[in-house]
A and B are shown apart, each in its own frame.
Chain A
Amino acid sequence: MTRSTLGGAVLRGTVSTALMASLMSAPALAAPPVDLSKWSPEYVRSIAGTQDFDTAGDCAKVTPLDYKGRLTFWYQGVFEGDPDLLRQYYKDFFETFRKTYPNIQLEEQALTYNDLLDKFRTALLGNAAPMAVRLQILGGTEFASKGYLQPLKPEDVGYSTEDFWPGAMKAVTWDGVTYGIPTNNETMAFIWNADIFKRAGLDPDKAPATWDDVVKYSKQIHDKLGIAGYGLVARKNAGNTPYRFMPQLWAYGGGVFDEATANPTYKDIELNSAQSKAALQASYDMYVRDKSVPVSALTNQQADNQPLFLAGQLGMMISHPSDYNVMLDLQKKATGTDKDKAQTVIDNMRYGLIPTGPDGKRAVVFGGSNIHILKPEYVEGGKVDEPAAKAIICMWTSPEWSLKMAYAGSNPGNLNGFKTKWMKERLDSIKFLDVTTSMLPYGIPFPALPQSPEIMNIIVPDMLQNALTGAMTVDQAADDAAKKVKDLMGGGL
């Protein structure tokens, strides 16, 4: 079915012209605040703490501070796997917003990553959505393509498109129009326990260089120590699964489509290519052949791996820099000898770059979240208080708050956040932050397609489960998944 019409073409033409015009405006022509070509941990350190920002003053230019209004707002908030530090920053943000805009009646609702999409979709069906929403990066395109979202670009809240990572901007663009602003960019790292490595006869200070090494190391740890080597996650309908499997898939040279290339077209399905099958085979080898990963991988999530890691029962995993803080939080809750054991694990925690594939390809999911404004017809009450929505968006995507709200877990959506004094403080206080900022250039966004949530949350985990349970062979599971993607893209039932 085609949805292209003459009216649509004219509309797209008009929007494109408007977009071009906006790009020609002064802020858009301004140089990017950071030089991405120089990106390295040293560069990030050199720019940290070099600029001050007046958040309230900047946002007052977008929405006056005495503005009176009402805003309903849903956001992907903190969950059980997040550190207490992040909880505090979320609390601080809403308190600060209420102080800065005392006359805006804010009705916010936090939802976890795995619940937000379902609830938001249901609310939209009943025209009962909030006025503004902060969604995981995977969700924006689906809602933009369905026409639920208002066009919204950084310039609308006083920033420039160049203030944000180009990869992040791709995820909020559909049919040439920008429908949201990135709040944070997330790239994970590879974490291991040096003590476990040492006891298993591995170099304690060296991360596995390739995914084949991960398979080998995992087996060695399991065989020598009787504990799980690598923290595989394959639960369905859980964001953790694609965030851990896709880097492996891309590193082997596979993909769902060609999303790992510089200019993806999403035309050809690659899920059953030889490279994709090799990636799936690596998971199969760890789970079925070597039994070197947690048996609970099919029903657990990363939040289940964290206590395993802290208990010294897991050698390696992919996660955020925030896991260091999570471990500190968990250690505080431990009692007796468990406390000392946990401290040993924390002391032996090491971070490294995510391993490469056989051809030296390194990849990580370019994750994060974006913030959007809904069209009035889908909002409860039929009205959107745009100035109020822009006020909260301006604050959240400001250099200050986009950094603070990503303090321990990811990186600021607004690149100016890297220049703030809080970034300097963060580099000094959060161990291993360098590693995840170093992973940013390797970030690959999920395909910017409305079908992406189903592909990543259901089809890919199904493929893993089918192979790992023996319900299908690796080849059959990959072929089955590729067929499902093909049917989905063809608009099939």
Chain B
Amino acid sequence: MAVVNSAVQLDLAKKSVRELNQFLHGDLAGRGIQRVEVLNPGGVHNLAVGLDADVDVDIRGHAGYFIAGMNKQARVTVHGNVGWSVAENIMSGVVRVRGNASECAAASGHGGLVVIAGDASSRCGISMKGCDIVVGGSVGHVSAFMAQAGRLVVCGDAGTGLGDSLYEAVIYVRGKIRSLGADAREEPMTDADRAVVSRLLDQAGINHAASEFKRVASARALYHWNSDAHQAY
């Protein structure tokens, strides 16, 4: 463990993932640690999971699955790509990915902000429950599936089945939508929507005009079981 430019450096060529996470779960504030750099992540899984501390964590390279899962307070930045389920079940804080993210980014996230600078793959924001997600590029198929609360902002295109079985989460898309999922519909943008998009883009550090985005929300036809619908939603 070295201290460079006031950041504690942990090198995964020398330390295990468990050692890293136990260190991050320790009394960082009591030791005056505000910034941690993780070197040589090598695509491994489960880095910086379960954090509950006011700390900045920079992961220098590509990382694997479940990065920064269950995050509280911490600001975790991955300077590379991530695998499946980055920021899964995020509660608060900020998780940023400078590259691309694989499937299920921010799945089931309750709060906080997740920023994917590149593309996010399929099922981005699946079952999100209150977090905000900003994707600089495009999202894959069935993104925001069964999303219950929060906002998903997509600066590029969206794949098939966007917002399938959507609850009260709202999706904003700047590019093309390949297809909407069951019960998702495009709605007019209001001033309140534009304000939300502007604020989230600002937080994400991405520069687009809010007026370029479309709003997708639930038509709420699936809220109540209709035996006459014969599954034809």
A and B form one complex: no
Binding site for B on A (CB under 8 A): none
